[in-house]
A = this chain, B = another copy of it.
Amino acid sequence: MSHYQKLVQHAQKIANFNHLAAISGWDQAAVMPNGGNEARSKAMAELSVLIHQLNTEPQLSDWFHEAEQESLSPIEKSSLREMKQRWQQATILPKDLVEAKSLAGSKCEHAWRTQRKQNDWNGYAQNWQEVVNLSQQEAQIRADSLGTTPYDAMLALYEPGTSSQSLDVVFENVKTWLPNLVDRVIEKQDKESVIYPKGTFARSQQKALGLKAMQFLQFDFNHGRLDESVHPFCGGVPTDVRITTRYDENDLMQSLMGTIHETGHARYEQGLPTSLAGLPVGEARSMGIHESQSLFFEMQLGRSPEFINHLSAMARAEFQAEDQPAFSADNFRKLYTRVEKGFIRVDADELTYPAHVILRYEIERDLMNGNISYKDVPELWDQKMQSYLGLSTKDNYQNGCMQDIHWTDGAFGYFPSYTLGAMYAAQFMASMRKQVNVSEVIQSGDLSLIFAWLDENIWKKASQFSTDELVKQATGETLNAEHFKAHLKARYL
């Protein structure tokens, strides 16, 4: 057996354990009774240790060295590249640092759940200081190995191949037009009237409606499920994708669009090539590309006027609301494109969302590169919120720098993926429109041509190419934020 083959077998073994981790994680979030949590957490930690051991087995170093001398096909070369990258990311940190960060992160996150409610920055900062410190150490070690800045080395965990140099260019550009655009749109929308659907919308009916939307989006129910959890997510494995949503019986709109968002993640997973199953090269390209699919479904498809026509019809039928103005397509469209400045990222609309991300990006970049201290964060947050959205978060930590879970356990480098996803989605749509009459296709009710494009250009390719190469093959160019800008202007002005 070649060393490449040995690596393949090893990767498939790891994939089997990752499968069990994904299903146990879904179970914990979606169906597990509370009393099961302690034993489950122990069992899942045991599995994590095992997976880490497998990812860092000593003989892998030799195997990679040998495999690189072997004669491989192009796809095998890509596969080797992806396996090696994962291995390097897993092995590069000293065990002590991994453990210390995990411990500090758990402690900080756990306390944060209470501290956030109490707006307790000082208490939080005491724990968070250590998380930042250990994350900086991690970033430095990764940077030394990759030959990048510390922040770029963290970014590479989520967006391999993307640098802060390129993000700086893109985000600086966005900053030149976004605040003004937000103001103009809000001014315009102030003159419009929207009607919020009132009433109690039973969970069972909301679920039925969500399932109809998923069917419309050709979710494969033979390879997946819809369930409920406090924080919606897309989990499971490509052959069995588990998406979740949450229902608010007073708010029909949110869970419906949330379900459409997760369906985008799910179809990417379901569309990954089975021939590469169990291999890193067969997995989703990056967090940004994953988000591009969920946002393609939610923003490019889901909020298009043609799609909203269908959604409004489905909702009218489910809730027997044929004559209610709140359920009209026009009102649905207004509701789903309503722009408001707010403090909270997860509640933000399509237009203001990038401001939340750019703010975080700039802070975490400077923090990891050692240019600012953890102590500077609240003030910087306040300044940037004032500058980008005209809101002050002075002394309002819970709705400022303490609002997200990501930093509590040191996941620095993740935030850019959200806005990269939105930009890629707009760029994909612009390219798709050259080959597919998207409006007509959506109107027809059979979206197969749209999914065929995504399948061909994104899903099937998995991680065979770098993000830049994937985007170039699909759209003829690497990331170009102009498509996103054009999309926003067309939709909101």
- Measured CB to CB, the residues of A under 8 A from B are 13, 16-17, 19-20, 23-24, 27, 31-36, 38-40, 42-47, 50, 220-225, 236-240, 277
Contact in complex: B35, A220 (CB < 8 Å): yes
Contact in complex: B23, A222 (CB < 8 Å): no
Contact in complex: B42, A16 (CB < 8 Å): yes
Neighbouring B residues of A20 by C-beta, 8 Å: 20, 24, 43-44, 47
Q: Is the interface of A mostly helix, strand, loop or mixed?
A: helix
Known contacts A33-B240, A223-B33, A223-B36; A43 and B16 CB within 8 A of each other: yes
Contact in complex: A35, B223 (CB < 8 Å): yes
Contact in complex: A16, B46 (CB < 8 Å): yes
Nearest-Cβ distance from residue A287 to partner chain B, whole angstroms: 23
**Cβ contacts A to B, 11 pairs, < 8 Å:** A17-B47, A19-B40, A20-B44, A23-B40, A33-B222, A33-B223, A33-B225, A34-B222, A35-B222, A35-B240, A50-B50
A491 CA to B281 CA, complexed, in Å: 66
Closest to A21 in B: B20
Nearest-Cβ distance from residue A418 to partner chain B, whole angstroms: 29
A38 CA to B13 CA, complexed, in Å: 15
Closest to A34 in B: B222
Closest to A47 in B: B20
Neighbouring B residues of A238 by C-beta, 8 Å: 39
A210 CA to B222 CA, complexed, in Å: 28
A92 CA to B17 CA, complexed, in Å: 27
A43 CA to B239 CA, complexed, in Å: 12
Nearest-Cβ distance from residue A178 to partner chain B, whole angstroms: 42
Scoring A16, A34, A38 by chain B CB atoms within 10 A of each residue's CB, the highest score goes to: A16
